[in-house]
Amino acid sequence: MRLALILLSLATPCFSAAPLVRSAKSGPWSDNGTWEGGAVPSAGSAVLVRAGHTITYDVVAKEAVRSVHIAGTLTFATDRDTRLDAGLIRVQQDEDVSEEGFDCDAHIPSDGTTHGALLVGTADAPIDAKHTALIRLVMFDGMDPQSLPALVDCGGRMEFHGAEMNRTWVKLDASAKKGDTTLTLAEPVTGWKAGDKLVVVSTNRQSKHPDKKTFRDHAHDLTETEERIVRDVKGAQLTLDAPLNFTHIVEGRYRGEVANLSRNVIIESADPAKARGHTMFHRGSSGAIHYAEFRHLGKEGVLGRYSIHFHLVRDSMRGASVIGASIWDSGNRWITIHGTDYLVVRDCVGYKSVGHGFFLEDGTEVYNVLDRNLAIQAEGGKPLPNQVLPFDHNDGAGFWWANSLNTFTRNVAADCDEYGYRFDAVQTPEFSLTLNVPQPDGSRRATDIRTLPFVRFEGNESHTQRRHAFNFGGFSPLARSAQDKGKNEGVAGVGPDEHHPFVIRDYLAWDVHWALHPRPPCVMLDGMEAAHSHYALWFANYDRHAYRGLKLTDITVNPDFQPIGSQPKTSEYPGELQPMDDLAPQTIITHVLHQNDGSLLVRGTTADNGEVKQVLVNGEKARSTAPNFAQWEIKLPNATKLIASAEDATGNKEVRPQERSAAR
């Protein structure tokens, strides 16, 4: 009976009101001859792009279709403005046209090939900067409000590539005073233009005002973060559409940011007040998001319905990246990395979310790279129904994780509700932190996730935080008995061993309440600057810690509040710790660009806890374009297959090189 129902659902749509329009052949969407029946899909239609057909979306359609099911290829024209309004867009491996079952998890079998493809620009041919590609997610009567409207990839290929910017956010070079209409940036910007929407980030934590409460209810209360529109761009000089309401300071390293939220590839909810949409990649999918804007998305209070969501893909999407994206006004987080490994998230701007912003969801995620992202105003939400980790309060962290075996570099968190950065892992009698974690060789092993160190945590910054700049490990210093259940939170005295400590390098916190709350054992703090803060080190648990390069300025209450043990001396660094490097680098190819001469320009990222010696692609050495091969590139003769791997200075070689096709 169950099989019969499944077969019936594959044969017929689950809604009777929507006429089904199938592609008849490859061709432009606007051409009547492209479609069975000889007519372009009309408002309310269900559309099927059949396997083997390539349809070029070439119109600005203001009437919404109910659904678009892509078993072939739907590619957006790059030389004109386009707009597609739909209730469901699904990239898939079959020709099912139902609205049910699109939450495909890992349940759709794959034959190892990618079938459907949605191409809103590609790495080789992004949407031209002169034009805009707009997708609007629309709610239709009869749709499931918990899951729709939506844009999902169920084992196909989904690409979003807008016009590139050299930087999506930059620091101020000079203080901008109240009433100013110009900004001087720390570096020139390209790809920014008149009409772009900006965020000028606050440099003043409101608790410093004597007539205001120390802790606001939310980050947006009394904030001095403000939005403006660009009137003119000349190198590093921006002219704004209106004077600033507040002063934004530059004082040495302490300086605010200016972020550009506008992109020419846009995914949005058509009516955020009525129904917000969400986007999702599933296991076996492929694709990337480069310089695209995701706005007014995310279903508040609904598990799994986020603005951008990589859902249980593990390493099946190794090589996927989210670069230069803007995610703002999200009802449910910015980017959720769930059961996913080897994802690169770089140069993204997150602004205004309900709940955590850049979020690793279930505690098994490893080898992901979060590099040079900006988190602004992640605001407190509520725990989500049936969430995987019961201890997560979803109370507004710019960056939140329970498994540290990932890379966090050059990120900035500012003006968030509760935390700039939050590492949390709480074991209870009902919930075990011994989880099935991927290993470098691809196997999985039961591991207490509290014992896993960072791959790399370096150059991160947190400022203008009304509460925690970096809560590292919660509040409980010791293992708890059953009688203590619920009284404390945190890692409870569990951490990595002396040979694999947590290493925090070059951490900067300023204009915050608590700069760093280091609770786990075995921590190496190699460079920290804290300024204009109430507390510097708060409730530190000095169990096999080693510190050097601390610079504390204008700590108004206490630089080392109620520690357990004594702060380690710089002269004794690394003290009781005996760090060893037995972790091999992890390499991810992020770009394969086909050149006019037939060669390939390959770019990627390598992460390691130490010094990277070399990166090889098809046996040839890549050139480092950022420190320690955090970004690299190589030009190669045309090839059908790419194999990339790295070796570090201590001789650790990557166990599982990345292999991927070089096809367009």
Pair 163, 126: CB distance under 8 Å: yes
What was the pLDDT predicted at 212? 47
How many structural domains does the chain have? 5
Q: Which of 530, 564, 580 is the last residue of a domain?
A: 580
Per the domain annotation, does 445 fall within a domain? yes
For residue 202, the Cα-to-chain-centroid distance in whole angstroms is 22
Q: What is the CATH number of the domain that holds 609?
A: 2.60.40.10
Are 52 and 14 found together in one domain?
yes
What was the pLDDT predicted at 8? 31
What was the pLDDT predicted at 14? 44
What was the pLDDT predicted at 106? 46
Are 526 and 503 found together in one domain?
yes
What was the pLDDT predicted at 466? 87
Pair 80, 143: CB distance under 8 Å: no
The string of pLDDT tens digits covering residues 304-314 is 999 999 999 99
Per the domain annotation, does 408 fall within a domain? yes
Are 27 and 151 found together in one domain?
yes
Are 454 and 574 found together in one domain?
no
The string of pLDDT tens digits covering residues 76-131 is 999 999 999 999 999 999 999 998 766 665 445 555 555 899 999 999 999 999 99
Q: Which residue has the tokens 């950065």?
A: 421
Candidate from 206-215, 303-312, 348-357, 613-622 with smallest mean pLDDT = 206-215
Per the domain annotation, does 265 fall within a domain? no
Q: Which of 590, 584, 129, 174 minimizes the C-alpha distance to 371?
A: 590
Per the domain annotation, does 267 fall within a domain? no
Cα–Cα dist 323/321, whole Å: 6
Question: With 70 as the cut, is the pLDDT of residue 357 above it?
Answer: yes
Q: What is the mean pLDDT of residues 373-397?
A: 96
End-to-end CA distance of the chain: 43
Per the domain annotation, does 307 fall within a domain? no
Are 351 and 367 found together in one domain?
yes
Are 195 and 255 found together in one domain?
yes
User: Is the model's pTM score more than 0.75?
Assistant: yes
3-state secondary structure of 232: strand
Are 11 and 158 found together in one domain?
yes
Q: Where are the alpha helices (DSSP H) in 331-425?
A: none
Are 417 and 479 found together in one domain?
no
Percent of the chain clearing pLDDT 90 (strictly above): 88
What was the pLDDT predicted at 4? 33
- What own/partner pairs with CB < 8 Å and gap ≥ 24 does 621-628 have? none
Question: With 60 as the cut, is the pLDDT of residue 158 above it?
Answer: yes
Per the domain annotation, does 4 fall within a domain? yes
Domain range holding 606? 586-661
Pair 524, 503: CB distance under 8 Å: yes
Cα–Cα dist 496/355, whole Å: 28
Confidence label for 221 from pLDDT (cuts 50, 70 and 90):
confident
Per the domain annotation, does 376 fall within a domain? yes
Are 575 and 627 found together in one domain?
no
Are 481 and 566 found together in one domain?
yes
The string of pLDDT tens digits covering residues 1-40 is 333 333 233 333 344 468 999 999 999 999 999 999 999 9
Dihedrals φ, ψ of 206, to 5°?
A: -60, -20
Confidence label for 523 from pLDDT (cuts 50, 70 and 90):
very high
Q: What is the mean pLDDT of residues 548-576?
A: 96
What is the chain's Cα-based Rg? 25
Q: Which of 327, 360, 343 minimizes the C-alpha distance to 286?
A: 343
* Cα 350–Cα 352–Cα 353 angle in degrees, nearest 5: 90
Confidence label for 487 from pLDDT (cuts 50, 70 and 90):
very low
Cis check: omega of the bond before 188, within 30 degrees of 0: no
The string of pLDDT tens digits covering residues 265-300 is 999 999 999 999 999 999 999 999 999 999 999 999
Q: What is the mean pLDDT of residues 616-631?
A: 98
Are 158 and 178 found together in one domain?
no
Using CA of residue 423, residue 427, residue 431, residue 436, what is the dihedral sign?
positive
Q: Which of 580, 609, 627 is the last residue of a domain?
A: 580
**466 contact partners, CB below 8 Å, separation of at least 6:** 205, 206, 207, 214, 215, 216, 219, 415, 417, 513
Q: Which of 113, 130, 163 is the last residue of a domain?
A: 163
Using CA of residue 485, residue 491, residue 492, residue 497, what is the dihedral sign?
positive
Dihedrals φ, ψ of 482, to 5°?
A: -60, -30
Report, in this order, helix, strand and coil percent for the chain, each rounded to 5. Answer: 5, 45, 50
The overall average pLDDT reported for the chain is: 92
Are 447 and 476 found together in one domain?
no
Provide the β-strand partners of residue 240.
Answer: 230
Per the domain annotation, does 53 fall within a domain? yes
